[in-house]
Amino acid sequence: MNDKQGKPIEIEDPFARRLMGKYLGHRKDDVDKLRTALAASDFDTIRITGHNLYGSGAAYGLDDISWLGASIERAAESKDVPDTERLIGELELFLRKLNVY
């Protein structure tokens, strides 16, 4: 993981490291779920997933995930396909920077 300046963030506690790894792995699954839902025009699933991202990111110190989740939720509410697609891409890129993939 990196902080806002791009410096690696070390998580020393093995339990916390496993917990964070699990959390981020589930977010990778969310990207897949979001892409599948977008392909099916399932904006309810996109909205709910975005809402859940919004609610969970800050608890892990990942405000960017919360911000992206809220943005995905809003885009789904307005059924804005291009914006939803762009935001899912941003989420995927953010997770890759955290070495989830």
pLDDT tens, position by position, 24-42 = 999 999 999 999 999 999 9
pLDDT tens, position by position, 62-77 = 999 999 999 999 999 9
Q: Report residue 3's pLDDT band, with 50, 70 and 90 as the boundaries.
A: very low
Question: CA-CA distance, 1 to 12, in Å (whole number)?
Answer: 12
Q: Percentage of residues in the chain with pLDDT exceeding 70?
A: 86
Residue 4 has pLDDT above 90, yes or no: no
Residue position matching structure tokens 């809402």: 51
15-21 long-range CB contacts below 8 Å, 24 or more apart?
20/60
Question: CA-CA distance, 93 to 13, in Å (whole number)?
Answer: 26
3-12 long-range CB contacts below 8 Å, 24 or more apart?
none
Q: Report residue 90's pLDDT band, with 50, 70 and 90 as the boundaries.
A: very high
Strand partners, 87: none
C-alpha distances (whole Å) from 60 to each of 11, 33, 57, 77 are: 12, 21, 6, 25
Question: CA-CA distance, 67 to 54, in Å (whole number)?
Answer: 6
Residue 79 has pLDDT above 90, yes or no: yes
